[in-house]
Amino acid sequence: MKAFRLDELEAERVANEGAYLQFLRERNMSVGLYALDAGDPDPQGPHAQDEVYVVMSGRGSITVGDETTHVGRGSVVYVPAGVTHRFHHISEDLRVLVVFSPPES
């Protein structure tokens, strides 16, 4: 078993001075913690993998392709591989679990 605590992952992410911390990588998937503070731009582009976002805390919006929705704690968003997507209008610091399948390269 591999088990993780969000507070420990957040501390590791901060210590590494990055917005993204990949903390699990297996044959068919990878999982990471993504952080965007209120007002931050989201610089990511389309990925070669399918991904699922699970918002752990914070509030904002996400646009996937030409669809936009508001997100907050408990929101789950699927993004197909190759589709342009971006978080925006972040009003409270976002902390998001990201699952890539296959693993992010």
pLDDT digits (tens, 9 = 90+) for 23-71: 999 999 999 999 999 999 999 999 999 999 999 999 999 999 999 999 9
pLDDT of residue 25: 97
The answer to whether residues 56 and 13 touch, using CB atoms and an 8 Å cutoff, is no
**Which letter does DSSP use for residue 20 in this model?**
E
Tracing tokens 């789950």 back to the chain, one arrives at 76
Reading the block at residue 25, the tokens are: 């990588």
Could you give phi then psi for residue 55, rounded to 5 degrees? -80, 120
pLDDT of residue 56: 97
pTM summary value: 0.94
pLDDT of residue 104: 87
pLDDT of residue 37: 97
Who contacts 17 (Cβ-Cβ below 8 Å, separation ≥6)? none
pLDDT of residue 29: 97
